[in-house]
Amino acid sequence: MLNLSKEKHVEMLRKMLEIRFFEEKVFELYAQNLVPGTIHLYAGEEAVAVGVCSNLRQDDYITSTHRGHGHCIAKGADLKRTMAEILGKKTGYCKGKGGSMHIADFSIGMLGATAVVGAGIPIAVGAGLSIKLRRTDQVVACFFGEGASNQGTFHEGINMASIWKLPVIFVCENNLYAMGTRQSIVMNIENIADRAVAYGIPGGVVDGNDVLAVYEVTEKAVERARKGEGPTLIECKTYRHKGHSRVDPARYRPKEEVEEWLAKDPIKRFKEKLMHARILNEAEIQHIEREVLVEIEEAVKFAIESPFPEPEEALEDVYA
Ligand SMILES: Cc1ncc(C[n+]2csc(CCOP(=O)(O)OP(=O)(O)O)c2C)c(N)n1
């Protein structure tokens, strides 16, 4: 266990549960035809977003991906407004016009999810440059998948962040597949973190299903970034529990592989660790779970009862 307070451990477990229960609910709501557009669920990868964001201050930034609900929640997004946006409602973060893949909340440093694979990377580098020019000690955590690490944006962005020593933590969420494409088909390396060498920055692989391990490596990267020493590339090995998007049954994944990763469920493992270290007992964990379920139910109720935007509002807040 790490030398963290009981409150911090509880906060991390609570955030992971919020993400899991939120995603389970979104999965159900989609089946009820209440979600316009598609969704990409983060269930199974909670330890990454929570391990990273638990090191960040409110004024630090993150950039996200098409699989962004977990990043939003980990950075402190409002569950009600997030759910409302996914359901296309007026009370959502983008007034119901952005949907699942475009949630942003500048007040908590969440610079935005994006449907364009790899597009969050240059945004993070730009935010890093702005921090450097403003001479603050903020940092940016930039989430992206291993598929995105084959995009030009990754190579150009990481190079620029390196030469200018920008305070960016590049967090590669390696869930083994980009849509249905296994990493080994499109890359001749096993670890994306090896790419750090090419840009002269530290890089490392971490068990992305172990929230404390992710926390620990991020802590060092954040410290380095705050001191003005530049970026770090962290590769988190993890696995999405569901298909790429809601309509993907993920039949391309071998059954044994799915079972192996389900057994390494990050929430189950964290709960076991907490109980083993006597930080929380089973009853306390169940109590937190019940509280989180209520929170999620309230978010769903809020979203369902909220109105859709009016047709006249269609062109408001549109920039391009
Ligand atoms: C520029 C661009 N190319 C292709 C796509 C289609 N696409 C959507 S998600 C995805 C796979 C992304 O894989 P990865 O970056 O590993 O993230 P993951 O879905 O595994 O979290 C692709 C190819 C896209 N949205 N944007």
Is 290 a member of any domain?
yes
To the query of whether residue 61 is one of the catalytic residues in this protein, the response is: no
Give the active site residue among 20, 102, 195, 240.
240
Instruction: Please give the pLDDT value at position 259.
Output: 98
Give the position, in ligand 1's atom list, of the atom nearest the Cα of 245. 19
Sign of torsion over alpha carbons 34, 14, 170, 78: positive
The total domain count for the chain is 1
DSSP β-ladder status, 232-237 and 181-182? unpaired
Residue nearest atom 4 in ligand 1 by C-alpha distance: 117
CA distance to 153, 300, 310, per residue, from 80 (Å): 33, 7, 20
Residue appearing with tokens 């030469």: 163
Range of the domain at 72: 6-304
Is 268 a member of any domain?
yes
Give the position, in ligand 1's atom list, of the atom nearest the Cα of 173. 21
Give the position, in ligand 1's atom list, of the atom nearest the Cα of 117. 26
CATH number at residue 51: 3.40.50.970
**In a structure prediction context, what are the per-residue pLDDT tens digits for the chain, which is 320 residues long?**
889 999 999 999 999 999 999 999 999 999 999 999 999 999 999 999 999 999 999 999 999 999 999 999 999 999 999 999 999 999 999 999 999 999 999 999 999 999 999 999 999 999 999 999 999 999 999 999 999 999 999 999 999 999 999 999 999 999 999 999 999 999 999 999 999 999 999 999 999 999 999 999 999 999 999 999 999 999 999 999 999 999 999 999 999 999 999 999 999 999 999 999 999 999 999 999 999 999 999 999 999 999 999 999 989 988 87
Q: Give the integer Cα–Cα distance in Å for 234 and 123.
A: 18
Is 311 a member of any domain?
no
Q: What's the 182 CA to ligand 1 centre distance in angstroms?
A: 12
Distance of CA 200 to the CA centre of its chain: 26
Is 228 a member of any domain?
yes
Is 313 a member of any domain?
no
Give the active site residue among 40, 71, 241, 244.
244
Is 294 a member of any domain?
yes
Instruction: Please give the pLDDT value at position 118.
Output: 98
Burial class (CB in 10 A: 0-12, 13-18, 19+), 168: buried
Is 81 a member of any domain?
yes
To the query of whether residue 241 is one of the catalytic residues in this protein, the response is: no
Q: Give the integer Cα–Cα distance in Å for 104 and 309.
A: 18
Contact 70, 100 (CB under 8 A): no
Is 315 a member of any domain?
no
Cβ of 115 closer than 6 Å to ligand 1, yes or no, is yes
